[in-house]
């Protein structure tokens, strides 16, 4: 089946009655979760996995695509109105979005954010569709050695780019890898680190870990910080139309930021936060007049919002093609797909391509729906932020407990969720990023399985690890990525040295 046929089939499946109800409902849920600070689409996805075990695969694609798209934009509303980022990537929007709100241009900022999100996501999806045929050929060149390098690259990338400390990021990734070794050894079937528990022979289930680290830990964090209303209200004002038209006026910036977002999204496990800040930095660097940035420049809203939403489309590429998550959200999405029998990789882009397009069109639909609703519901949605933290915290714990248990019907998963909730809270409190830990846990089996396979094939003379071009390309990318912070400062250091010498 050609890509166009699959795209048309996927489109028909999404935009038919009653299928369209699923992404609509999922988008609304994702909007509520993403709007409340501390909660995110990832929390919702982790909670939803356990409730959707028996569902038909098409509905899984419909709701998870919508969860991914629906959660993206809404976090920006809290960032603009209350200076609270609903998600990591929204923090970049906050830099210029909140000053705009304080100047009485909240509606303009929200309109601009909504339009940039919708247009950015559309460009991101177009890039994804254009790359799909290339990805299919690319996959054929991938074997255990390349997958091993990809796993290492994903681990290295996320540990470097997430959090302020490289050492902390790498330590967290190391711990995640160690946790992924729990269970039977893939070669000898020997139980490792199971403490004699048969329930741990299959390894740690990622869902209770997600629920612990994202839902319980986040609730603890918010409940400890305060018990009053989440935020104080800021009146909405300004011209909505001016905001909606702004990305079209700055179309060059919109396209550049969207391409940045989509490409960063394709790098395994980098995440939307990096995409948003990269796009913001690029907007500042490319502007002639930089004086307004940080004080309510509308370009400072366009760039991160477009990149953030374009990232969703891009991050689906490594997820669908290689089974490697491109962000936190796609890490949970990957877990959901695997649990429902979808095999990321060649099968996903050949036999299951129409289903992949159901996911893509569902994401597209939810991105647009969220932006339209975001504009229409800006004022009433602001009222949700008046809910007190200590009122909704126990409810999230209740859903997390039920979600953790219902993945496999084992009480040990509830214990795991609580342990990771507490661990996640203290790790986050002291600046240890949880994302490398979770990603390493997800990538661990891929890393270990392909390491043994690649080394075995190399030793048997079936492949040569040192003559495979993709391995070298990935290795070079990894080295450049690590060396980049030092290389970037080299010219300024050289100038400083020359000045001192003179």
Partner 1 sequence: MTIREHSVVNLALLLAAVLFIFLASGLTRTAATLPAIVAAITMVLAAAQLALDRRKPPPVETIRLEGVPERFLTLTLAGLLVALYVAGFVIALPIFAGLFWRWRAGASWTKAAALAAILFALLYGVITVLLRVDLYPGVLLQWLSR
Q: Where on the chain is the footprint of partner 1 (CB under 8 A)?
A: 51, 165, 167-168, 170-171, 174-175, 177-178, 181, 185, 187-188, 190, 192-193, 216, 220, 222-228, 388-391, 393-395, 397-398, 401-402, 405-406, 409, 411, 414-415, 418, 421-422, 426-427, 429-432, 448, 451
481-492 per-residue burial string, b: 16 or more CB within 10 A, e: under 16: beeeeeeeeeee
Give me the least distance between CB of 237 and partner 1, in Å please. Answer: 30
Give me the least distance between CB of 26 and partner 1, in Å please. Answer: 17
Between 15 and 411, CB nearer to partner 1: 411
C-beta separation of 42 from 341 below 8 A: no
Tell me which residue of 42, 30, 13, 118 sits closest to 355, measured CA to CA.
13
Q: Cα separation of 170 and 158, whole Å? A: 9
C-beta separation of 365 from 15 below 8 A: yes
Q: Cα separation of 363 and 441, whole Å? A: 26
Between 391 and 495, CB nearer to partner 1: 391
Give me the least distance between CB of 401 and partner 1, in Å please. Answer: 6
Between 56 and 185, CB nearer to partner 1: 185
Between 175 and 245, CB nearer to partner 1: 175
Q: Cα separation of 12 and 363, whole Å? A: 14
Count the alpha carbons within 13 Å of 149 in the hemisphere toward its beta carbon: 18
Give me the least distance between CB of 204 and partner 1, in Å please. Answer: 14
Give me the least distance between CB of 137 and partner 1, in Å please. Answer: 32
Give me the least distance between CB of 228 and partner 1, in Å please. Answer: 7
Between 204 and 401, CB nearer to partner 1: 401
Give me the least distance between CB of 102 and partner 1, in Å please. Answer: 21
Give me the least distance between CB of 406 and partner 1, in Å please. Answer: 5
Give me the least distance between CB of 193 and partner 1, in Å please. Answer: 5
| 180-to-173, 209, 211, 254, 432 alpha-carbon distances in Å | 10, 11, 17, 40, 18
Q: Which residues does 122 contact at the CB level (< 8 Å), separation at least 6?
A: 364, 367, 368
Give me the least distance between CB of 356 and partner 1, in Å please. Answer: 28
Tell me which residue of 428, 447, 453 sits closest to 155, measured CA to CA.
447
Give me the least distance between CB of 458 and partner 1, in Å please. Answer: 16
Name the DSSP class of 213: I
Between 7 and 39, CB nearer to partner 1: 39
Between 157 and 327, CB nearer to partner 1: 157
Helices (H), 141-225: 144-161, 166-180, 206-210, 217-225
Between 211 and 348, CB nearer to partner 1: 211
Count the alpha carbons within 13 Å of 230 in the hemisphere toward its beta carbon: 26
Between 28 and 402, CB nearer to partner 1: 402
Q: Would you list the DSSP string of 251-306? A: HHHHHHHHHHHHHHHHSTT--HHHHHHHHHHHHHHH-S--TTTTTT-THHHHHHHH
C-beta separation of 10 from 357 below 8 A: yes
State in Å, rounded, how far the first CA of the chain is from the last one.
68
The neighbouring-strand residues paired with 229 are: 388
Structure token pair of residue 375: 């504009």
Would the CA dihedral through 44, 273, 447, 135 be positive or negative?
Answer: positive
Q: Cα separation of 473 and 391, whole Å? A: 51
Helix-strand-coil split of the chain, %, nearest 5: 75, 0, 25
Between 427 and 446, CB nearer to partner 1: 427
How many C-beta atoms lie closer than 10 Å to residue 468's C-beta?
18
Between 146 and 448, CB nearer to partner 1: 448
Give me the least distance between CB of 220 and partner 1, in Å please. Answer: 6
Give me the least distance between CB of 443 and partner 1, in Å please. Answer: 12
C-beta separation of 324 from 268 below 8 A: yes
Between 149 and 279, CB nearer to partner 1: 149
Between 190 and 289, CB nearer to partner 1: 190
């Amino acid at each position: 089946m050609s890509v166009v046929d699959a795209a048309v089939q996927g489109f028909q499946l999404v935009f038919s009655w009653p299928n369209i109800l699923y992404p609509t409902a999922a988008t609304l849920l994702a909007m509520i979760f993403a709007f409340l600070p501390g909660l995110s689409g990832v929390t919702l996805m982790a909670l939803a996995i356990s409730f959707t075990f028996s569902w038909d695969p098409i509905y899984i694609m419909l709701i998870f695509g919508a969860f991914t798209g629906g959660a993206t934009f809404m976090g920006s509303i809290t960032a603009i109105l209350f200076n609270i980022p609903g998600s990591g990537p929204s923090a970049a929007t906050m830099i210029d979005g909140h000053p705009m709100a304080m100047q009485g241009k909240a509606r303009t900022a929200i309109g601009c954010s909504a339009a940039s999100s919708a247009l950015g996501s559309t460009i991101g999806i177009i890039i994804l569709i254009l790359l799909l045929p290339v990805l299919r050929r690319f996959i054929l060149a991938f074997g255990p050695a390349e997958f091993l390098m990809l796993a290492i690259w994903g681990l290295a990338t996320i540990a470097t780019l997430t959090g302020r400390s490289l050492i902390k990021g790498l330590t967290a990734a190391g711990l995640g890898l160690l946790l992924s070794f729990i269970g039977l050894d893939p070669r000898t079937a020997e139980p490792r680190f199971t403490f004699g528990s048969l329930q741990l022979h299959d390894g740690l289930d990622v869902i209770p870990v997600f629920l612990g680290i994202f839902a319980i830990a986040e609730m603890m964090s918010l409940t400890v910080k305060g018990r009053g209303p989440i935020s104080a209200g800021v009146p909405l004002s300004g011209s909505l139309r001016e905001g909606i038209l702004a990305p079209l006026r700055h179309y060059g910036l919109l396209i550049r930021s969207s391409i940045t977002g989509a490409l960063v999204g394709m790098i395994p496990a980098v995440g939307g936060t990096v995409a948003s800040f990269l796009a913001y930095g690029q907007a500042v660097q490319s502007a002639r007049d930089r004086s307004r940035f940080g004080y309510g420049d509308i370009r400072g809203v366009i760039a991160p919002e477009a990149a953030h939403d374009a990232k969703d489309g891009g991050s689906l590429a490594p997820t669908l093609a290689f089974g490697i998550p491109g962000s936190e959200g796609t890490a949970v999405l990957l877990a959901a797909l695997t649990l429902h029998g979808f095999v990321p990789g060649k099968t996903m882009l050949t036999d299951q391509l129409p289903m992949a397009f159901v996911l893509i069109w569902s994401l597209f639909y939810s991105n647009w729906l969220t932006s339209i609703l975001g504009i229409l519901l800006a004022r009433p949605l602001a009222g949700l932020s008046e809910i007190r933290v200590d009122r909704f915290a126990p409810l999230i714990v209740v859903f997390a407990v039920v979600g953790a248990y219902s993945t496999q019907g084992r009480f040990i998963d509830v214990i795991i969720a609580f342990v990771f909730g507490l661990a996640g809270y203290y790790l986050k409190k002291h600046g240890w990023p949880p994302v490398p830990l979770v990603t390493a846990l997800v990538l661990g089996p891929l890393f270990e399985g392909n390491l043994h396979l690649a080394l075995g094939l190399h030793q048997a003379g079936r492949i040569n690890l040192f003559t495979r071009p993709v391995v070298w390309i990935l290795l070079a990318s990894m080295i450049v990525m690590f060396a980049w912070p030092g290389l970037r400062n080299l010219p300024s250091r050289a100038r400083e040295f020359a000045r001192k010498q003179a």
